[in-house]
Amino acid sequence: MRKLLLGTTALAAAATLSANALADVSISGYYEWKYQSRSSTVAASDGTSMGVDSEIKFTLSNKTDSGLDIKMAVEMTSDDAETTSIDESSLSIAGGFGRIVLGSDDNAADNYAIDAEDVVGEEIQATGTDTLSLSDTDLETTGDANKITYHVPAMGGLKAGISYTDNGTNSTTGDQDSIEIGAQYTIDAGGASITLGGATRNTEQVSGTVDKESSNVGVSITSGNITAKVAQATYEATNADEEANGVGVKFKISDAMSLGAYTVKVEDSTGTTDEEYTNTGAEVTYAIASGLTAYFNISDYDYKTGAGTGAGTTADSGTVSKLTIKAKF
């Protein structure tokens, strides 16, 4: 009897330890299939194409004895014919002090910047404008580089965060350390929700060269079924002085359908490039079923190289249309 009691107690203790050690695990993902048609003044860009974009996300979360919420997130691209790799991987620690994120994840500037093209789910950006760093009103950032980010606790309608990226020990060439800061403030006025957002990025360069600096300011207003966004972004670096301005509007027609439209203009006025890029587009979104959505986009663009010697060598203009079928899991 004593042996049975001891054995039962040991099994119960082992089960309890196992239960406490196990984290909550969730798996999500999406798969996009795309068909695109492009009419371009550049013969090499003219024609049709198909593409896919997919991702699987693994999230493990747990709560410590001291009350901290810890989470590990790994996002893996899974495009068989194109690329398969780890897109983002991070550890977050949250409590009354706010939230700290360590690893490869979105930076604070990305989290809080307001982009006029966010009124659509599937943007279309024409290739061939690679000498421009800005393609819309979202600021130029360090992306998913390995970093440390701190988000302050929500205070009323205010949200804010700061990121620090160490770009390595090589201090003689390329990007050095980066600081990125973003914030949003939301208020309700007359039944409308108004969000003011701003973000900035500074990346030090080696002595004798211009630091990379980018900023974004914007406002998003939602009233009933209508959302409007107005935003501006800037980017400065060696031989770059870019400014982007844009406006976007989204109208929810029904629970299943919405219509969005935007227009953005980007200019580089350094004198060595003098480029200009405009992009005006629209999107119809239709929810086919729960977790299955169709997007139809059309975009009219115009890229001018300008007279500067550092600009792109080929001017381009045309129209791009795209059909996207997206499934979320």
The string of pLDDT tens digits covering residues 102-147 is: 999 999 999 999 999 999 999 888 765 557 889 899 998 888 889 9
Give the whole-angstrom CA distance, residue 217 versus residue 137: 9
75: its two tokens: 């996002």
Q: Which amino acid is at 72?
A: M
Burial 273-285 (b: 16+ CB within 10 A, else e): bbbbbbbebbbeb
The answer for 157, left when phi > 0, alpha when psi is -120 to 50, beta otherwise, is alpha
Q: Which of 79, 96, 38 is nearest to 301 (CA)?
A: 38
Element (H, E) at 321: strand 316-328
Question: What does the pLDDT read at residue 19?
Answer: 47
- Report whether 289 contacts 259 (CB < 8 A): no
Backbone torsions φ then ψ of 174, nearest 5 degrees:
75, -170
CB of 100 closer than 8 Å to CB of 93: yes
**How far apart are the C-alpha atoms of 323 and 319, rounded to whole Å?**
14
pLDDT digits (tens, 9 = 90+) for 207-224: 667 889 999 999 999 999
Q: What pTM was estimated for this model as a whole?
A: 0.84
The letter for the amino acid at 289 is A
pLDDT, position 68: 96
How far apart, in whole angstroms, are the C-alpha atoms of residue 102 and residue 294? 35
201 and 213 Cβ atoms separated by less than 8 Å = yes
Give the C-alpha distances (Å, rounded to integers) separating 167 from 151, 164, 308.
21, 10, 31
| Choice between 167 and 241, residue whose per-residue pLDDT is larger | 241
Q: Which pLDDT tens digit goes with each residue over 277-312?
A: 999 999 999 999 999 999 999 999 999 886 655 555
Q: Do 121 and 285 form a contact (C-beta atoms < 8 A)? A: yes
The 10s digit of each residue's pLDDT in 39-68 is 998 888 889 999 999 999 999 999 999 999
Query: How many degrees, rounded to 5, is the angle at CA 130 between CA 319 and CA 83?
Result: 90
In the DSSP assignment, the letter for residue 120 is S
- Neighbour count for residue 224 (Cβ, 10 Å): 9
Q: What CA–CA distances, in Å, run from 93 to 22, 68, 105, 256?
A: 17, 7, 14, 37
